[in-house]
Amino acid sequence: AQTVTQSQPEMSVQEAETVTLSCTYDTSESDYYLFWYKQPPSRQMILVIRQEAYKQQNATENRFSVNFQKAAKSFSLKISDSQLGDAAMYFCAYRSATGAGSYQLTFGKGTKLSVIP
Amino acid sequence: DAGVIQSPRHEVTEMGQEVTLRCKPISGHNSLFWYRQTMMRGLELLIYFNNNVPIDDSGMPEDRFSAKMPNASFSTLKIQPSEPRDSAVYFCASSFHLGAGSNNEQFFGPGTRLTVL
């Protein structure tokens, strides 16, 4: 079974600065997807960014980018120019690209990000 | 599109009572997921349906939990009898599952916060 580990329960960043959230995962599969979800106080789960394992290029969405290291099974999220609205819980998630596992998301325990004005 | 709709948003009940949580997936989506979120265990997949058929209910904690999807636009998660340890936020998510290697992005509802006294 796949596992996702987020080793930083809480982090803080100064507004306008850059912060990196860590995520590692364990899998024996070669084809899969990785995700970062944001959960603000409203509880709504919002997809921030997605990475396909077969792609070597790191995904980028505006101020959000990832550092995907497949051999190391590492998938970190970098938030540049942090804004107050970025304050939230961030969840790393894994999904297989094959078979029955392709339906299921496996989540890490989350990292609570605070943004300091 | 209205997104995934869940009701109620908040539910407070007493131990032993029956609780029914409701979900309306995004129109056109063929897969539906029920998750439970707690501080201790994070986000856990309880059950998921594809084309209204339960595919994997291995995450359902006990026989007290049951889920149905009578049609493509409605699903329920029922707890009978409820216990204080069932207190959590329950999320419903839906996706259009094209196949194992496709995007299959899951869209989450706002969640139902359940408190069992």
* Least CB–CB distance from A45: residue in B97, B108, B113: B108
Q: How confident is the model at residue B60 (pLDDT cuts 50, 70, 90)?
A: very high
pLDDT in tens, A8-34: 999 999 999 999 999 999 999 888 999
Model pLDDT, residue A5: 96
Q: Return the percentage of chain B with pLDDT > 70, whole number.
A: 95
Length of chain A: 117
Question: Could B100 and A96 be called an inter-chain contact, meaning their C-beta atoms sit closer than 8 Å?
Answer: yes
Handedness of CA A6, B84, B112, B46 (dihedral sign): positive
Segments of chain A scoring below 70 in pLDDT: 100-101
Q: Which residues of B touch A42 (CB under 8 A)?
A: 110
Contact state of A45 with B91 under an 8 Å Cβ cutoff: yes
The set of long-range contacts for B67-75, using a CB threshold of 8 Å and a minimum separation of 24, is B67/B34, B69/B32, B72/B25, B72/B30, B73/B24, B73/B25, B73/B27, B74/B22, B74/B23, B74/B24, B75/B22, B75/B23, B75/B24, B75/B25, B75/B32, B75/B34, B75/B49
Average pLDDT, chain B: 92
User: With an 8 Å Cβ cutoff, are A45 and B105 in contact?
Assistant: no
Place B53 in a pLDDT band, splitting at 50, 70 and 90.
very high
Residue position matching structure tokens 């329960």: A9
